[in-house]
Structure formats: structure tokens, C-alpha cells
Amino acid sequence: MNMIETVQSHFPGQSAQLQKEYDSWLEYYTREQQALAKARQKHRDNGSARTGGGKVYIEEIRQDAKLLGKLPGEKDIIAEMRARANPELPFKLKPYEHQMQMLKAGLIRDKLAYFCEMGTGKTKVIVDIIRHKCHGIKAIVFCPKSVLGSWGKEIDKNSNLKYNICTGNRKQKLKLLTDPDADVVITNYETVVSFGADPGLWGLFQMVVLDESSRIKNHKAKRTKLLTQAFASTRFKYILSGTPITQNPADIWAQMNFLDWKMLGNKSYYAFRNTYCIMGGYEKYQIVGYKQLDKLKRLISGGSVQLTKEECNLNPALPEKVYQVREIDMSEEMAKQYKDMLKESVLELSGKDDVTAPIVLTKLMRLQQILSGQYLDKGRNEKLEELTEIITDAIGYGRQVVVWARFRPSLDIISSRLAGLNIPHSIFHGDTQDRQLQIDNFQTGKTKVFVGQESTGGMGITLHAGSVMVYYENEFSLETRKQSEDRIHRIGQTKKCTYIDLVYNKTLDRKILKAIQDKQDIATYLVDSFKEGVYANRK
């Protein structure tokens, strides 16, 4: 009987999962030993070694290799697997079955990506991992600013950990980051930009978590470079995302590289690009396709947990989604504004030799602003009237409503209408200071409507007190749309979720909705469609 068969005999019914976990351990620590051997050869007289872009501490690798990489004996392996695969944790809130499996994977692996659909409970899993692993060590969580308070609430619900929400000026942040009594520090991504890759500061943390890790998808971005450098030697690393590949598969490299470049086997983005991307366009600088995607998927799977709500068997717990479209005719004043702007834009771009995507998107955004009603003088805002009817009907049936808009003036228009009707509502945008209070008021029923900027509130927060969601206008991002929908369709939701798009007939609204329904990248679809009109006008 070989080693894995011996181990499996101690855990009947888990053979396939244990085989995968065992293989992952063996592969990971074999690579670490190989890296260590090369480092020793190159730096025989040095106390530490450098491999790739990060610092590998020899003593730490020795300990890990002794535990798993060298496989000292079946008793040691079985004991370790028993402790990690069957954690005896006193849960404050009992996890769902799929969350328990996610937790086990995180306890077994020190570096792991959770690419799980929104609403599957990733945050609770991470809190339980921190509870289990943070004995005398500190953890830091980087997340969007809009969900700082949500992380704090999740920690309170699931643990007795002490935490700091790191906000304020540089001096205040430094005090919170270096607080010796805090088990966890929660901060936004801009904090690392403020302090840079200071090893003295970030070395205080032995665990780092990136929530919504698509924020570091751009390998050239300053925050991506700083985070990767600052936490290159951190022992425990976890990244969370419901949509890891937002525009193309190339977005995955920086996220996996943050965990460990060896997971994908490419030390640089350009090595990754040469392996998996087909280059074309002007001087072959543009990605026009992909190759070896099956291999890439296998490598990603080896370093991640990937789950959808359906795979989590949450269908019995989560209600269905229902989509509706309210088609509206513009008032005469708005129709004239829209047609004049469209004609002006087409004529202007028809005279340009190089019509770039940013130029087109700027013109389209101006058209979308007209449809918001912010430039109306005396004309009737039909979209606002339709929204008002939806909200009053929903409240009458005892349901709460989430409204998403793109522009601040749109939020002001909607808020003013609700205030005039004496309808209590929460407001959520980039400048909102009391963000958690606005969320709490809605979740507890103090306000019946949540009016939010989709780009600010569409990620990470929980709004499942609401069961009706209305899109006054959409962002040009399919990822943002998907994320925003799941603010109400989450664990704990008991009512059918209704999604309503307000669409002006024969306008940009219709094209955006078509891209969403076809699951196409909205910005690319709109740019291509607009260019077709420009080129047709030239002819």
C-alpha cells in the first residue's frame, strides 16, 4: 500500500478530494525545495536567498519541507491531514456544507485563490481561516472602500477577533496598522499606495487577504506592483473574486502572481503573454486571441477554489431571479437633445482618421447623461416617472428597493423625488462618509429605498433586505453589472429577486441592455457599434 492509499484508508469517502490535496502539497513543496536548492547553490554564505522577485527564508522552507515536502512518514502526514481537513472549530455561525469545504481547502493551502461566485459566503470562510491560523500573528485585509464596514460586521458575527478599520490620514492609518492589540486590520487598496512597499510596516503581517482581487488585474498598475512587492515573503496569502477574468484571460496573471508566480510558472507577464496570448494588430502589440487555454485552466484550478451558486447547492436556499424591461418613450425635449448630440458626435468623428475607443466612450457617456434627465429644462423625465411608480408599488407590497445609477446628478434627481414623496431612503456614492450607516438603515428597514452609484456600491456590500433592483442607468462594465445584481441575491435572501431595466426606446439604453443580455463586454460592444455608424456616415 503506497502513501496516498494509506492516507485515504484513514479518510473513507474522501479519496478524490484527498488525492487532489495530497498532490497539491507534494507539488508545491517539491517546487519550494527545488527553489531552495538553487538558492543555496548561489548563496552558500548568505543567511537568506532570493528567488524570482521575492525573498525566501531558508529556515521557514526547511520546516515546511520537513513537514510535507520530504514526507517523513505516514503518521506525520495523516496527523497533519486530520488536523487540517477536519478542523475542530467552535463556530459562532455554522457554515454551509460548501463553506466547510472551502474552509478546509484554505486551511490546507497557505496560498489560495477563491474564485467563487458572489453570494457564496467567501468572507465568512476567510474569517474562519484567520481564526484558525492567527495564533499570535496578524492579518491584513485589503478591500474596496465601500465594504470596509461589511468586513467588520462579518468578523463580529463569526469570531471574537479584535480588528481595526484603517481609515483617516496617514498618521491615523499608521497608528491603526501598527496597533499591537489588533488581530486583523481592514483597509482599502489605496493604503499600500500611500505607504509604499515598506518592509518594516508590511512585515508586521503574516497573513494578507485581497478582497475583489480583480483590483490588481492590471500588472502595470502601481497598487499591483506595490502589493506584490510588499507581501512577496508573506506566509499566508488569499485572494477573493467572483469575477477573476473581467475582460480577458490575461487579467488572471497578476492575481495569481501575487500569490506565487510558480502557480502559473511564469515569472513575468510577458512570459505569460507569450505562452497563452496571440498577438496581432499594429506591430503585434494587441492581444487578438488565446492559446493553450486548457493548460491555463488546469494551472489556475491547482491554486484555486472555483464555485458557482449552483455547485454550492444554494438553489433551495436562494430564490429565483426575474428580469424585466420597462420600455419608455422620451419627452420631446429629451428626444431633441439626444438626436442633436448623436448627430454632432457622428459628424465630428467622421472627420477623424483615428477614432479610438476612449474618444467614442466619452461621446457615448454624454449621450447617457442626456438620458438621465439632468439637462432637462421643462420637459418631463419619463424614466424618473416610471421609477417612481415602481418604487411606490413595491413599497405598497412590503418590498424594499435598490436603485442603481451611474451619475451623481442622477442620484440627486432620484433622491429629490423620494424626499418630495416623504419616502425614507439611503444614499451611497463615492463621497458618502457614513457608508455603513446607510447600509444598516436599509438592512434594518429604517429606509425603504437604497439609491446607489453602481461603481461605488456594486461590489462587496450586502443589501438582501431588498428584493427589487432597478437600473436607472448602467455602467459600461459587464463585471460591475454582475456584481451589483448579487447585492440582493445572497445567502439570507428569502424573496424572489426582481431586476428591472429602465430603457428609452431606440437609444443607447437598448444597446447596453443587448450587450448585457448577450453577456458581451459592454464597452467593446458599444464602441464597435458606434464606429459602424461613423464609418457608414463617411460612405
Question: pLDDT tens digits for 181-210?
Answer: 999 999 999 999 999 998 889 999 999 999
Same-domain check for residues 242 and 310: yes
The percent of residues above 90 in pLDDT, for the chain, comes to: 47
Domain finish residue from 286, 317, 348: 317
Sequence-distant (6+) residues with CB within 8 A of 21 are 81, 85, 105, 108
Same-domain check for residues 255 and 146: yes
Sequence-distant (6+) residues with CB within 8 A of 176 are 164, 165, 166, 167, 168, 182, 185, 187
Same-domain check for residues 300 and 392: no
pLDDT per residue as tens digits for the range 105-160: 888 888 999 998 877 889 999 999 998 876 667 999 999 887 888 899 899 999 99
Same-domain check for residues 291 and 397: no
Distance CA 211, CA 123 (A): 8
Q: Which of 106-110, 293-297, 522-526 has the lowest mean pLDDT?
A: 522-526
Domain tally for the chain? Answer: 3
CA 110 to centroid of chain Cα atoms: 20
Residue reference for cell 456594486: 458
Q: Which of 62-71, 355-364, 461-470 has the lowest mean pLDDT?
A: 62-71
Cβ contact 41:219 at 8 Å: no
Is residue 342 included in any domain, yes or no?
yes
Q: Find the domain containing 486 and state its range.
A: 321-538
The percent of residues above 70 in pLDDT, for the chain, comes to: 79
pLDDT per residue as tens digits for the range 445-494: 999 999 999 988 888 889 999 999 999 999 988 888 988 999 999 888 88
Query: Counting runs of H as helices and runs of E as strands, what totals does the chain give?
Result: 23, 17
Three-state secondary structure readout of 27-94? HHHHHHHHHHHHHHHHCCCCCCEEECCEEECHHHHHHHHHHHHCCCCHHHHHHHHHHHHCCCCCCCCC
pLDDT at residue 72, rounded to an integer: 37
pLDDT per residue as tens digits for the range 361-411: 888 999 999 999 999 987 789 999 999 999 999 998 899 999 999 999 999
Q: Record the pTM.
A: 0.65
pLDDT of 313 higher than 90? no
Is residue 257 included in any domain, yes or no?
yes
Same-domain check for residues 310 and 455: no
243: CATH = 3.40.50.10810
Domain finish residue from 32, 56, 86: 86
Is residue 91 included in any domain, yes or no?
no
pLDDT at residue 251, rounded to an integer: 87
pLDDT at residue 228, rounded to an integer: 96
Same-domain check for residues 403 and 505: yes
pLDDT at residue 271, rounded to an integer: 93
pLDDT of 76 higher than 60? no
Same-domain check for residues 292 and 381: no
> Stretch 155-184: mean pLDDT, rounded?
93
Same-domain check for residues 292 and 417: no
The grid cell for 321 is 431571479
Same-domain check for residues 530 and 395: yes
Distance CA 111, CA 117 (A): 19
pLDDT per residue as tens digits for the range 315-344: 556 788 999 999 899 999 999 999 999 998
Distance CA 123, CA 240 (A): 8
Same-domain check for residues 300 and 339: no
Is residue 254 included in any domain, yes or no?
yes
Same-domain check for residues 306 and 335: no
pLDDT of 439 higher than 70? yes
Is residue 166 included in any domain, yes or no?
yes
459: CATH = 3.40.50.300
pLDDT per residue as tens digits for the range 216-273: 989 999 999 999 999 999 989 999 987 655 457 888 999 999 999 999 999 999 999 9
The grid cell for 343 is 448627430
> Stretch 171-178: mean pLDDT, rounded?
94
Average pLDDT, the chain: 82
The grid cell for 214 is 480583480
Is residue 92 included in any domain, yes or no?
no
What is the number of alpha carbons within 13 Å of residue 29 lying toward its C-beta?
Answer: 20
Domain finish residue from 86, 113, 138: 86
| Radius of gyration from C-alpha coordinates of the chain | 26
Distance CA 117, CA 129 (A): 19
pLDDT at residue 323, rounded to an integer: 93
Is residue 143 included in any domain, yes or no?
yes
Burial class (CB in 10 A: 0-12, 13-18, 19+), 272: buried
CB neighbours of residue 160 within 10 Å: 9
Same-domain check for residues 283 and 328: no
pLDDT band at 34 (very low <50, low <70, confident <90, very high): low
Residues 384, 389, 391, 396: what is their CA dihedral angle, to the nearest 10 degrees? 160
CA 400 to centroid of chain Cα atoms: 25
